[in-house]
Amino acid sequence: MPRPLHPAHHLALALLVQSVGQRLSVLAHETFITSAMAWSCHGRTNADMVDALQRHHIIKSEAVARAMKAVDRGDFAPRDAYMDAPQPIGFSVTISAPHMHAYALEILLPVLRPGARVLDVGSGSGYLCACFHKLVGNEGIVVGIDHVPALVQASIANMRKHHGGALDDGSIRLVCGDGRQGWPEQAPYDAIHVGAAAWPLPAPLLAQLRPGGWIVAPVGPDGGDQYLQLIKKAADGAITTKNMMGVRYVPLTDVQDQLGE
């Protein structure tokens, strides 16, 4: 008969199980969100998914709900589009879980005013760019940058399914380049979103942020502690940061590392 565990061993075993559970929650793009309500906002349709995000209080504003309902995730994710989990889109990339997009939109909402300029670094499928566009309108400019040329072309094809007019009038611009260098042609930006973990945050992104602008980015070393940070630039250029939640993202890297070349 096995001997009963000492109470200290019970505690150690519980901590081990907790740690393993957290590691198993790692999905391709981001994981271990501090909110227990995340990862469960599934739907049978795009509207169902957004309703679930509202019920779980991840989406708090009607503006973000309207934007996400106006952009069908099924246009940008080839399978399981309405599952609250990252989904592969090719080129060693995923489209982030819907709750992560919702968090980013809610955090940045105060600076996503009509006419604002937005930069999405690592724009991938183009989904979040379409959501940003619904908030800043045709008078704003949303730039999505990714360093895989074929992925940029795929994102343009996704966008043309229902949002081609924004490409035609230039209010959405999907470009190929090293997002760590930003996209100075349309700077300064009111809002910058980064879709992979930076360590540290690239200086060009801070330089291209308008005074009064905000950045949302996962920050931290690959395999180490990472946090989704809100970074603000004051009118005098002073930078402040706030950790919003713990996350696990793939690193912000170059195209060769991403594709394993």
Which residues have a catalytic role annotated? 96
Q: In this structure, are residues 104 and 145 in contact, taking their beta carbons and an 8 Å threshold?
A: no
Q: How far is CA 224 from the centre of its chain?
A: 19
State the Cα angle at 242 between 241 and 247, rounded to 5°: 115
- Cis omega before residue 218 (within 30°)? no
Under a CB-based contact definition with an 8 Å cutoff, are residues 226 and 247 in contact?
Answer: yes
Q: 150-153: long-range contacts (C-beta < 8 A, 24 or more apart)?
A: 150/90, 150/91, 151/89, 151/90, 151/91, 151/93, 151/124, 152/123, 152/176
Nearest one of 217, 154, 145 to 175, comparing CA atoms: 145
For residue 139, the surrounding DSSP H or E stretch is none
